[in-house]
Structure 1
Amino acid sequence: ILPVAVLVNYSESGASTLRTARERPRAPILNLTPNLNTARRLSVAWGVHSVVNDRLRQVDEVVSTALEIAQAQGMATRGDTLLITAGVPFGKPGSTNTLRIETLI
């Protein structure tokens, strides 16, 4: 229903990204993680492009980082819609409870 250019998951464990990949969405999945082992494990998951970045502490940091990396990786351009998920509190596995829909300006 919503034309999404990129699905972005900020995940330290990678579990939410794997659940997303299991659904085989049309949009590519950008996984942001501070954990190199998670990024390596997700490199073989369907439709996932994993990027290692600094550990983030606030939802606003996740959103701004997601928009910046999606544009830098060539996955989104101005006017594209991104769907961003993360878990609060950060660093706790199984806590994905935040969904943001953002437009790249």
Structure 2
Amino acid sequence: PVIIATQMLTSMINSTMPTRADVSDIANAVFEGADALILSDETAIGKYPVEAVKVMIRTIEEAEKAYEYKLEEYKHVSPDFAIAYSSCILAEELGAKAIVVFTKSGSSAKRVAKFRPKPIIIVNVHDEEVLRRMKIVWGVLPYMVLSEKEDSESMVKEFIKKAYAENLIKEDDILVLTMGYPIGKIGSTNLIRVIKRDQILKFISISK
């Protein structure tokens, strides 16, 4: 992940209003593809830390609305990156609500994020620590720590039922899933799967 820090909103150390230059710096960082922006003096010694955070958030949100989501053409990528890139292309072509990544180490999610897809990247992992690390990756929603499952179908069902119950997905959504076989093995991501209405309805109707 690319993290940009230091002097992002220096003008707000002693003022409730940012300068145009500071706001432009934040927006440009978003347009350049930064994963995370950090405030330092603005919140550590500044007079208006809360206001600075609000300005940072608002500027990032507005910049993201104007962000040009455009998948560039990549050639000669490794098999791992080919899976990630293909999932992004597929999600774009199908108008998918999300790219759902089941990952052991988090590397698969980072590879998908590299291509800056427009759909949100929902990440499901096997370890709480990995889930926390995913919070800093561009476009990623670290969603759940999976219970121990022996097969991919059980993992997908667990995710669908939870996400539907929490209104994260709807029955008419299209989802693009990436996962690996064998289950839970680092570096095994080798599958892409499309989930549509009939499958979502099937999973949410299963009682256990």
- Pairwise same-fold verdict (TM > 0.5): yes
- Tell me the percent identity: 30
Question: In the alignment, which residue of structure 1 is the partner of 2:102?
Answer: 10
Question: In the alignment, which residue of structure 2 is the partner of 1:63?
Answer: 156
Give secondary structure in 1 for the equivalent of 2:175. strand
The answer to which structure has the higher helix fraction is 2
What are the residue-to-residue correspondences of 1:12-31 with 2, within 5 Å?
12-31=104-123
Show structure 1 runs of 4+ deviating over 6 A.
none
Deviation at 1:73, TM superposition (A): 4.2
What are the residue-to-residue correspondences of 1:1-105 with 2, within 5 Å?
1-50=93-142, 51-103=144-196, 104-105=200-201
* Number of residues of Structure 1 aligned to a counterpart in Structure 2: 105
Gaps of 5+ in 1: none
Deviations 1:66-99 (A, max 9, x none): 3223324433211101111111101211110111
Give secondary structure in 1 for the equivalent of 2:99. strand
Task: Answer yes or no: is the 8 Å Cα contact 1:81–1:101 preserved in 2.
Answer: yes
Gaps of 5+ in 2: 1-92, 202-208
Paired with 2:134 and 2:140, the residues of 1 have a C-alpha distance of: 7
Paired with 1:74 and 1:29, the residues of 2 have a C-alpha distance of: 16
Paired with 1:73 and 1:28, the residues of 2 have a C-alpha distance of: 16
Residue 90 of structure 1 aligns to which amino acid in structure 2?
Answer: I
- TM-score using structure 1 length: 0.90
The answer to which structure has the higher strand fraction is 1
